[in-house]
Amino acid sequence: MSMSSDTVTPARPATGYMPRERLAVSLLFLMNGFIVGNWAPKIPEFKDRLGIGESVLGLLVLVFGIGSLVMMPIAGAAIARLGSRVVMLATAVLLTPMLVLMTAVDGLYLAGAAMFLLGGFVGAMDVAMNANAVEVEKSMRRAIMSSCHAYWSLGGLIGAAIGGPLIASFGLMIHAVAVTLAAGVIVVIAWPLVIADGPHPDAEKAKLALPMTPLPWLIGIIALFSMVPEGTVLDWGALYLRNELGASVATSGFGFAAFSAAMAVMRFAGDHIRDRFGAVKTLRVCTVIALVGLVVAGAAPSAWIAILGFALAGLGISNMVPIAFSAAGNMPGLAPGIGMSVATTMGYSGILVAPSLIGFVAEHTGFALVFMTVPILFLAVLLLSHHAVHADRSH
């Protein structure tokens, strides 16, 4: 369905057609996370097969990120022309067999091209999924974005948990084929249930161009400054616990585990909280919780206090990005795909690029200071939080 930002659509009954559309987009979030989660345990073998060191692997990971950042704006323009349904299903089909390709590819240059495609399809599908979730929110007149992101986290956890044992028991190619078949089944189930949105009325002639109004960029900053701390915990939390707080190898892994678990649980509750209190108030409270959590982690006298801080930060950060994405897809006078591509591109650059810069700084200052100063970004989020009101346009 296609509608202008000012159209008011009556709410459909909770037992009617719309829950099927919500199920469809949730399944595709789950499938995307499942693919990414299953890729993680394949990386060591990928490195060994190519005969490369950590530095070259790091460059290939950067190529993955570049693929995402290149394809996200292209997906946004395609959504404006074709609607999120077409782009989401097309990118899901393209992403489904990618682990088979990553398992079969040999040679550094072919591996680099495959990494670019993997990152590109993951990123493009991410833009389309979020834009489709916005369409479902508009039709249901209630928030669903946080739970969609929770399904992505759930898919990633399932993929990472089963990937290693499957590879150990059956080998790399059987694992890749099994994941491909499972992802394909999810796409087939979701296909007829996806909401049938069309092009945005104001974007039938949309071109691959950057929006000239400041609002999408301001919301993009909210997404960016929400995701930089997430990437910092992901890439450097375990090293901080081990090297600066004396945690064991086992304990050092609990930092991101606590952060991820708190984030996933809170995302399932986040939509109800946002419906109850509104996007602006929810964003502000979550931002303060995240700020306090990271400061506690950075100032912690022991590893377990730091882990508690990371869990608190996960509770806060959990709903910051979904609110930013809902706002990006509901900006007045702008096609949902274009606004979403700006927010996702800026936000994910915070995970893909910023942590490497933070690692360079930490070599000179230590991670404790990093975790105490990164929350300064949250102050900017608080200053811009009034723009989250656009997330409530879906209601």
Instruction: Read off the pLDDT of residues 25-46 as tens digits, 9 standing for 90 and up.
Output: 999 999 998 998 888 778 778 8
To 5 degrees, how large is the angle CA 363–CA 366–CA 367?
Answer: 110
Q: Rounded to whole angstroms, how far apart are CA atoms 31 and 186?
A: 7
Burial call 21-31: b when 16+ CB within 10 Å, e when fewer: bbbbbbbbbbb
Using left for φ > 0, alpha for ψ between -120 and 50, and beta otherwise, residue 333 falls in left
The CB density around residue 379, as the number of other CB atoms within 10 Å, is 12
Three-class DSSP category at 5: coil
Number of Cα atoms under 13 Å in the Cβ half of residue 189: 16
Tell me the C-alpha distance between 150 and 212, whole Å.
Answer: 32
CB 60 within 8 A of CB 111: yes
What distances in angstroms separate CA 6 from CA 330, 383, 390, 393, one per listed residue?
A: 10, 26, 12, 8
Match 């249930």 to its residue by tokens.
Answer: 193
Closest CA to 383 of 223, 222, 273, 217: 222
Q: Which residue has the tokens 């994941």?
A: 179
Tens-binned pLDDT, residue by residue, of the chain (395 aa): 333 333 333 334 444 444 789 999 999 999 998 998 888 778 778 888 898 876 787 788 788 888 988 998 899 889 988 999 999 999 999 999 999 999 999 889 999 999 999 999 999 999 999 989 989 988 888 889 889 988 988 888 788 778 888 888 999 999 999 999 999 999 999 999 999 887 755 544 444 455 667 888 899 899 999 988 887 887 778 778 888 898 886 677 677 778 888 888 898 888 889 888 999 999 999 999 999 999 999 999 999 999 999 999 999 999 998 999 888 888 776 666 677 788 888 888 877 777 667 777 877 888 899 899 999 999 999 999 998 888 776 54
pLDDT (tens digit per residue) in 98-137: 999 999 998 899 999 999 999 999 999 999 999 899 899 8
The residues, ordered by sequence, that sit 6+ positions from 41 with a Cβ below 8 Å of its Cβ are 160, 163, 164, 167
**For residue 258, how many C-alpha atoms fall within 13 Å in the half-sphere facing its CB?**
24
Q: Nearest to residue 203, comparing CAs of 344, 340, 347, 345?
A: 340
Contact 84, 128 (CB under 8 A): yes
Which domains, from first to last, does the chain contain? 18-203 (1.20.1250.20), 215-394 (1.20.1250.20)
If you average pLDDT over every residue of the chain, what do you get? 84
Helix, strand and coil in the chain, % to nearest 5: 80, 0, 20
